[in-house]
Amino acid sequence: MSRFIAFAFPVATAEEAKSAIAAIANEYHDARHVCWAYLLGPGGREWLSSDNGEPSGTAGKPILGQIRSAGLTNVAVVVVRYFGGIKLGTSGLIVAYREAAREAIEAGETVSRCEEEEASISFVYEDMNAVMTTLKASEARILEQQFDNICRLRLSIRRDHLEGLLARLPAKRVD
């Protein structure tokens, strides 16, 4: 009987996903197949999957389908298969890869995150106290800062909070 081992990883980029996949493939180098899928970005706009030698559509697509069914993004799922001598057939492979992916996803911890956006602002030095007080009360993170007669900040904040923050600041957006 074939043995399936599945892993789920949080990833932020395609490079990160491919690195995690390569690490598993390297660790399980003696396995017959290392199949995988990843889904990235808001709404899952970037994705890729691989059947790694299994019949087309029997491994990567079912893994990707489980990621989508769980409503996840920024995740990679890898399923390692050690062939057990019995052919499972197309439907058997689909079920096996789908279930292995589902179990790996369920075993993991789901972390919710909000989309962030960057904004640049500038303001006169005299407004420094008001700007910093407003930023401290917000969830904004300062990514870069330059203080002079005209001060400049590059911020990162939840996308749905950006316009409200900009409206409260005695500064103008420079993007």
Q: What is the mean pLDDT, run by run of 10 residues, along the chain of 175 residues?
A: 93 95 96 96 90 94 96 95 83 95 92 83 90 91 92 91 87 52
Number of helices and strands in the chain (H, E): 5, 8
d(CA 8, CA 21) in angstroms, rounded, equals 10
- Take residue 154 and report the two structure tokens written for it: 């590059």
The DSSP secondary-structure symbol of 125 reads G
Contact 16, 39 (CB under 8 A): no
d(CA 1, CA 23) in angstroms, rounded, equals 25
What confidence score (pLDDT) does residue 166 get?
86
- Take residue 63 and report the two structure tokens written for it: 């893994």
The DSSP secondary-structure symbol of 1 reads -
Supply the pTM of this predicted model.
0.70
What confidence score (pLDDT) does residue 25 get?
96
What domains lie within the chain, and their CATH numbers?
3-107 (3.30.230.30), 116-173 (3.30.70)
d(CA 42, CA 115) in angstroms, rounded, equals 8
pLDDT tens digits for range 139-170: 899 999 999 889 999 999 988 899 888 888 87
What confidence score (pLDDT) does residue 171 get?
57
Question: If you search the block for the tokens 């910093």, which residue do you land on?
Answer: 132
- Take residue 79 and report the two structure tokens written for it: 């399923």
Classify each residue of 125-160 as buried b or exposed e, where b means 16 or more C-beta atoms within 10 Å of its C-beta: eeeeeebeebbeebebeeeeeeeeeebebbbebbee
